[in-house]
Amino acid sequence: MIAVSRETIVVASAARTPFGRFGGPMSGFRLPQLGSVAAREALRRAAIEAGDVDEVIVGVNLPGSDRSIARQLALQTDVPDDRVAYSVDRACCSSLTAISLGVRALRSGDVATVVAGGVENLSRVPYFLEDMRWGKRLGHVELVDQLVISCPHTGVPRAVQAGEEALLHDVSREEQDAWAFRSQTRAAAAIERGAFDAEIIAIEAGDVPGEADGVAVDESPRPSVTMAGLAKLRTVYGSPTVTAGTAPGLSTGAAFTVLVTAADADRRGLRPLAAMLGTARVSAAPAQIASVPATAIRLALADAGKTLDDVDLIEINEAFAAVPLVSTLLLGDRDPTTVDRLRAMTNVNGGSIALGHPTGATGARLVMTMAHELRRRGGGIGVVGICGGIGEAESVVIEVVAGAD
């Protein structure tokens, strides 16, 4: 049993789909259908019936032409139709925000069982004809593509924001290439030793819309990447440093957790994945996407009553290679020894540059990746940080107690 107070909120279980490549075999999934695959599996792993779920919270960033994603997903997961479900859009933070909101709801005593996570299918995001409601008599018609990823407030491409902030903190293009190479090689090694197997529920052949074959593994990793190859890539969208190699691909995937109190877990005889010790949600200037996770991490640690010295592992989402590099630099107060120590414990199994980044789902993936790695190491404390939106970030602190397995 989890060795924390009975009021502590715990992750009873977690599951995710493979993260599919852009335009790949998972591209036909509607969001509620794909999300229900992971939500059903998370409930199955916790041995909790869908009828016991009080609330479903779903992070989604780019729903395309669909709507009421959480409500549809809850019903497709067989959650009773009198239960509350709602969607959260906090850009890439969305599923981590969903988990934090679930923790808050449980702490308030309003609910007893929450399904929280996120889903995204960037392959299904349509083009938009924003000015065609009343038709056109003359002139060109413009199709708007939301997958040209720019800040909706300033119009500046995210890659430009990340690259400029990297240079502001003296993080070079070469350092970013090296981090991307590290992400790919570490992810390849983790996949080889089965580090992600406990997270993933395979998509069976009959479940994939329009496809004969299923999907059982993440499709984006490129283990053959070399430093020389990364160095040859041109920067994108006018960024001073960011290339296609130092950014994740556009992905499809879903990731969900089941949250309960430690007392309820004990009553059910569950062996939780992790305890939720602290959460934080912050905002900053729109361009600060590479540094704002550091702010969130510090606040989440304070909420948990912990410091960086207590932390065994860190996950910082690789929205770009610049993000973990800048954030660890600031967390380490620019002291080279401290920064090196923090980076050594950050994204030890690679990150989104290799695994893919379905924006609404990634935060929940980081939590389960962290929890499983801590369990393999015999327990410990981990902190997750992710940037998103217009200068936003989210962070959670989790603990896996030694001997939890």
Query: Mean of the per-residue pLDDT values for the chain?
Result: 94
Res 2: pLDDT: 42
pLDDT of residue 404 exceeding 60, the answer is: no
Please return the burial class of 242, using the count of CB atoms within 10 Å of its CB with bins 0-12, 13-18 and 19+: buried
What is the C-alpha separation between 23 and 390, in angstroms, rounded? 27
Collect contacts of 166-170 with beta carbons under 8 A, ≥24 apart. 166/240, 166/241, 166/242, 166/290, 166/320, 166/322, 166/325, 166/326, 167/240, 167/241, 169/290, 169/291, 169/326, 169/329, 169/330
Q: CA nearest 357: which of 317, 324, 385, 321? A: 317
Q: What pLDDT shows up at residue 291?
A: 97
Is pLDDT of 6 > 60?
Answer: no
Average pLDDT over residues 9-34: 95
Mean of the pLDDT values across residues 21-49?
95
Instruction: Count other Cβ atoms within 10 Å, centred on residue 168.
Output: 13
Question: Which residues contact residue 396 at a Cβ distance below 8 angstroms, ignoring those fewer than 6 apart?
Answer: 96, 99, 100, 103, 276, 278, 279, 280, 300, 367, 383, 384
Helix residue ranges per DSSP H, 238-389: 262-268, 292-304, 322-331, 336-344, 352-355, 362-376
The more confident residue out of 46 and 147 is 46
State the average pLDDT over residues 112-119: 98
Residue 207 has pLDDT above 80, yes or no: no
pLDDT tens string 282-329: 999 999 999 999 999 999 999 999 999 999 999 999 999 999 999 999
Distances (CA, A) of 208 to 33, 125, 281, 354, 404: 10, 18, 35, 23, 35
Burial label for 146, CB within 10 Å (0-12, 13-18, 19+), is: middle
- Supply 197's token pair: 């197997």
Q: What's the confidence (pLDDT) of residue 3?
A: 44
pLDDT of residue 151: 82
- Give the containing element (helix H, strand E) for 393: strand 392-400
- Catalytic machinery residues: 92, 357, 387
As a dihedral over the C-alpha atoms of residue 153, residue 101, residue 117, residue 190, rounded to 10 degrees, the angle is 90
CA gap 213, 197 in Å, rounded: 19
pLDDT at position 403 is 64
Domain boundaries, the chain: 9-124+153-398
pLDDT at 282: 97
Whole-number pLDDT of residue 5: 52
Percent of the chain surpassing pLDDT 70: 97
- 284: nearest Cα among 179, 394, 370, 369: 394
- Asked if the 9-124+153-398 domain carries CATH number 3.40.47.10, the reply is yes
